[in-house]
Amino acid sequence: MIDLRIRVDPFPVVEPLVVRLRDQADDPGPNDAVLIGREGARREYEFQGFSLALHAADHLKLDNDVIMIVPGQTSARRLIRADSQHNTLLVTEQCDQLCLMCSQPPKKQHVDLFSELETAASLAPFNAYIGLSGGEPLLHKRNLFAMLLSLSKMRPDLKFHILSNGQHFGEEDTDTLREIGVERILWGIPLYSANADDHDVIVKKTGAFERLLASFSVLFEAGAAIELRTVVMQQNYDMLAALAGFVGTALPFVERWAIMQLENIGFGRMNWDSSFKDTSIDFGNVARAINIAAARDVPVQLYNFPLCSVPARYRHLAPASISDWKNKQEPFCAGCSLRQRCGGFFEWYVHKKGFRGLEPI
């Protein structure tokens, strides 16, 4: 697991400070800290006339990484890792749903860091693909859209994958979405059943299904790209085929349909015994859903499925989707012929309570 924090010596800030680390720079920008010395794990940078000291392992590459230093904290957050394709910025921890499988259970308070996140994104490498997640980012829609509009002008090369529960789009957002640039954003939005009552029970919000369909209409009208996301659970396993038919009929415009395995953290961990569906033993309804979607020309991908848990004919649909900072290989993966292209397991996966039908490939 990759540590997203770096120990930092006390630094004189009274507000969060975003800094890009540079090994060398002839003309550093106002947010650039330039390396001036290393001694063991200690790296010293010059930043606007001050000495900024970080502590990191010798092998860790930090050149062009973007960090945030928060007053009173002894570690800096790695917001952008220059050599990674898995950079995600947490917009808020607030949410208006309590999904059974949520990996980031919501909190009541909100710490507004839109200005800092905008600065961090503006310092990202060219053509970076950045995730934005929560909580529910669109609970702060005005600030979110303002940030995206600003970045669309400042850094038109950037693209974003934004996770949202799809409860807060309105017809008034259509022009704004187009102005931001629909080609620059992929919206990851969940749908768990074709039946309104079943979906609402899973997300624990009455009326969520109907509100979600209204949001899909807005996104479709704007020409936005949608990644439909469905977590496979005991609660919806028998409904997957019907959901596939619904997607192919009512939502054929989605960019792709991501069928996902459960993550053993947050509410997912709390509800694991009653929610985890072992698809390594019973893949049947997932296969039926894939086949129905394919017949309706809906692209499908399998997220968070180790390749050894997927029948051979469907393995090409399972990319290495688990972010590099939170994935791992199990000991039995050592001799696997597909190890290099498999996403492995979440760092918090517990095999004794997980897949029981895995076989070496």
CATH number for the domain that contains residue 153: 3.20.20.70
Are 35 and 108 members of one domain?
A: no
Domain end position, chosen among 78, 93, 125: 78
User: Would you call 238 exposed, middle or buried from its count of C-beta atoms within 10 A (0-12, 13-18, 19+)?
Assistant: exposed
Are 137 and 248 members of one domain?
A: yes
Query: Is the pLDDT confidence value at 361 over 90?
Result: no
Are 65 and 163 members of one domain?
A: no
User: CA-to-CA distance for 212 and 309, rounded, in angstroms?
Assistant: 31
pLDDT at 327: 92
User: CA-to-CA distance for 232 and 285, rounded, in angstroms?
Assistant: 10
Mean pLDDT calculated for residue range 200-205: 98
Q: What share of the chain is helix, strand, coil (3-state, %, to 5)?
A: 35, 20, 45
Tokens standing for residue 29? 């920008």
Return the ∠ at Cα 212 (arms to 208 and 164), rounded to 5°.
Answer: 95
Is residue 214 within 8 Å of residue 167, measured between CB atoms?
Answer: no
Are 128 and 252 members of one domain?
A: yes
Segment 213-216 long-range contacts (CB within 8 Å, at least 24 positions apart):
213/250, 214/169, 215/166, 215/167, 215/168, 215/169, 215/189, 216/166, 216/189, 216/251
The 10s digit of each residue's pLDDT in 205-254 is: 999 999 999 999 999 999 999 999 999 999 999 999 999 999 999 999 99
Are 299 and 172 members of one domain?
A: yes
Side chain identity at 184, as an amino acid letter?
A: R
| Structural domain contains residue 178 | yes
User: CA-to-CA distance for 2 and 323, rounded, in angstroms?
Assistant: 10
- Count of C-beta atoms within a 10 Å radius of residue 34: 16
Please measure the distance between the N-terminal and C-terminal CA atoms of the chain and give it in whole angstroms.
24
Is residue 36 within 8 Å of residue 53, measured between CB atoms?
Answer: no
Mean pLDDT calculated for residue range 64-87: 95
| Structural domain contains residue 323 | yes
Confidence at 359, pLDDT banded by 50, 70, 90: confident
Confidence at 2, pLDDT banded by 50, 70, 90: confident
Confidence at 166, pLDDT banded by 50, 70, 90: very high
Is residue 236 within 8 Å of residue 285, measured between CB atoms?
Answer: no
| Structural domain contains residue 360 | no
| Structural domain contains residue 361 | no
Mean pLDDT calculated for residue range 73-89: 95
**What is this structure's pTM?**
0.95
Query: Is the pLDDT confidence value at 31 over 90?
Result: yes
- Count of C-beta atoms within a 10 Å radius of residue 223: 12
Query: Is the pLDDT confidence value at 1 over 80?
Result: no
User: Is the Cα torsion angle 147, 153, 158, 161 positive or negative in sign?
Assistant: positive
Mean pLDDT check: name the lowest of 124-128, 212-216, 264-268, 330-334: 330-334
Are 57 and 182 members of one domain?
A: no
Q: How many separate domains does the chain show?
A: 2
Query: Is residue 209 within a helix (H) or strand (E), and if so which, with residue range?
Result: helix 208-222
Are 74 and 85 members of one domain?
A: no
Mean pLDDT calculated for residue range 339-361: 93
The 10s digit of each residue's pLDDT in 114-162 is: 999 999 999 999 999 999 999 999 999 999 999 999 999 999 999 999 9
Are 141 and 194 members of one domain?
A: yes
User: Would you call 69 exposed, middle or buried from its count of C-beta atoms within 10 A (0-12, 13-18, 19+)?
Assistant: buried
- Of 84, 97, 174, the C-alpha closest to 137 is 97
pLDDT at 115: 97
Domain end position, chosen among 30, 60, 78: 78
Confidence at 104, pLDDT banded by 50, 70, 90: very high
Query: Is the pLDDT confidence value at 360 over 80?
Result: no
Are 97 and 143 members of one domain?
A: yes
Return the ∠ at Cα 215 (arms to 195 and 147), rounded to 5°.
Answer: 140
Domain housing 219? 79-353
Are 99 and 25 members of one domain?
A: no
| Structural domain contains residue 55 | yes
| Structural domain contains residue 359 | no
Domain end position, chosen among 31, 61, 78: 78
Mean pLDDT calculated for residue range 54-65: 95
| Structural domain contains residue 72 | yes
Is residue 260 within 8 Å of residue 231, measured between CB atoms?
Answer: yes
The 10s digit of each residue's pLDDT in 273-309 is: 999 999 999 999 999 999 999 999 999 999 999 999 9
How far is the CA of 268 from the CAs of 33, 89, 185, in angstroms? Answer: 40, 21, 27
Confidence at 111, pLDDT banded by 50, 70, 90: very high
Are 21 and 91 members of one domain?
A: no
What angle separates helix 240-250 from helix 284-295, to the nearest 10 degrees? 20
β strands within the chain, DSSP E: 5-8, 17-22, 32-39, 42-47, 50-55, 66-69, 75-80, 87-90, 129-133, 159-163, 185-190, 225-231, 256-260, 300-303, 327-328, 345-346
User: CA-to-CA distance for 148 and 162, rounded, in angstroms?
Assistant: 11
Are 124 and 33 members of one domain?
A: no
Tokens standing for residue 295? 């017949």
